[in-house]
Structure 1
Amino acid sequence: MNSEKRQEAPLASSEMARLPVGRLAHDTRREKRGVVMDHQDGFVWLRPEGGGTEWTALPRDVQPLLNVRDRAETLMWARVAHANARSRGEVL
Structure 2
Amino acid sequence: MASQQITTARAWFVHVTARNFVVMASDQETRPGIGEVAKDLGTGKIGFVMGEVGGKVQLRPLNGGKEWDAEPSTVRPAPAREELSARLAATNNQSRWGR
TM-score normalised by the chain length of structure 2: 0.48
The CA deviation at 1:20 is 1.1
Distance 1:31 1:62 in 2: 10
Runs of 4+ in 1 over 2 A off after TM superposition: 15-19
Does residue 28 in structure 1 map to residue 41 in structure 2? yes
Which stretches in structure 2 are left out of the alignment for 5+ residues? 1-27, 85-99
Q: Considering only CA atoms, is the larger Rg found in Structure 1 or Structure 2?
A: 1
Partner of 2:69: 56
Q: In percent, how many aligned pairs have the same letter?
A: 39
Superposed CA RMSD: 2.5
Distance 2:42 2:79 in 1: 19
Which stretches in structure 1 are left out of the alignment for 5+ residues? 1-14, 72-92
Specify which structure has the higher proportion of helix: 2
Aligned pair count reads 56
TM-score normalised by the chain length of structure 1: 0.51
Partner of 2:96: none
SS of 1:60's equivalent in the other structure is: helix
